[in-house]
A and B are shown apart, each in its own frame.
Chain A
Amino acid sequence: MFIRYFMILMMLGGSGAVWSHDFTPTYPKLEQSYIEGVLKASMKLFNKRKDVRYYEVSVYDNEWNKIPFAMLGEKVMNLEYLETKYFDVFIQEKSRNKATYICTKTKLLVTDKTKAMLDSRICSKIK
């Protein structure tokens, strides 16, 4: 079992030649923020995609309807290659039972080549 985890870690660590999108934790918890009636989840986003510099954050219920939320910065954030960003997502306490997913999605820029591009989205599930 340990060897399997080690191999996976090696693969993750050694994937420098390719471009990836990494968003954790898998199961964030909503905690009381410094504002009454507002909860927060602390998230971490790592950009290992050279072709992407912008990511959009969104929150959904279990039927993929958008839930209102707030962040201290822009909801479309600039993240340079190999940059890690820690941020808090603020959700109203009344949305606590509805909010299910916190997602980050790549925002791609138009290029001048004919190709199929990859738009990646990773969603964490609120526990």
Chain B
Amino acid sequence: MFNKTLLSCVLLTFCASAFAVDVPVTGSVESRCVVTQDTVGVYGNPAPETLTTAPASGGVHPVVRYDVIQASYYMARITHPESFSDSPVLTDTVTWAGSTSTDQVSDANMSAYDTNKVEYDNVTEVDLTVAGSTWFKVESSADYGVDKAFPGGTYQALVVAECIAI
């Protein structure tokens, strides 16, 4: 009886050691930029002639997140809309306004992005000089004619978020 138990124990130990295999998990860290749509923007229509992403007017500011693994490898270039990509037929001019600013940062040093950013036309450029995540908030509004009501229908505008290796 004792011998049988001993034999069983030895066999079990042997079996256990036979199946204890190391399974390697490998990965690599390389410089990269990931552009993420964090919040989908929505135009509110507080007045007949206005479409705006301002939350106070029923809109939602689109938020785009940039993740960079290594500092100073990429530049963020964000373009706020100056035309509709899809809309009903508009017979009058649309006056556009917009801006881009940091919304949240994963590193306190990124607070310099708002002071160091370069703005021209409807474009904002920021050198991503700190590794980590930055959330950029894009504000956009459109006014139609002179106090003219936007025709009913669906309106779409594009925010272009670019990440360019420098």
- Residues in A lying within 8 Å of B, measured CB to CB: 4-5, 7-9, 11-12, 15, 18-27, 48-49, 51, 101, 108, 110-125
Contact = CB atoms under 8 A, between A and B. Distances in A.
Interface stretch (B8-16, B110-118, B119-127, B158-166): B158-166
Interface residues on B, range: 35 or more
Contact of A116 (B35, B132, B159): B159
A37 B154 CA distance: 50
Interface in B17-67: 29-38, 40-43, 45, 51, 53, 62, 64-65, 67
**Which 9 interchain pairs have the tightest Cβ spacing?**
A116-B41, A125-B165, A20-B36, A120-B35, A118-B37, A121-B162, A26-B31, A123-B164, A119-B160
Nearest to B60: A115
A114 B35 contact: no
Contacts, number: 142
A125 B32 CA distance: 12
A18 B30 CA distance: 21
Interface in B146-166: 154-166
Contact of A120 (B37, B41, B74, B132): B37
A26 B35 contact: no
26 contacts: A5-B29, A11-B132, A12-B34, A20-B65, A20-B67, A21-B34, A21-B35, A22-B34, A26-B165, A112-B154, A114-B51, A114-B154, A115-B40, A116-B40, A116-B140, A116-B159, A117-B85, A117-B156, A117-B158, A117-B159, A118-B37, A118-B160, A120-B163, A121-B163, A125-B164, A125-B166
B73 A26 contact: yes
B94 interface: no
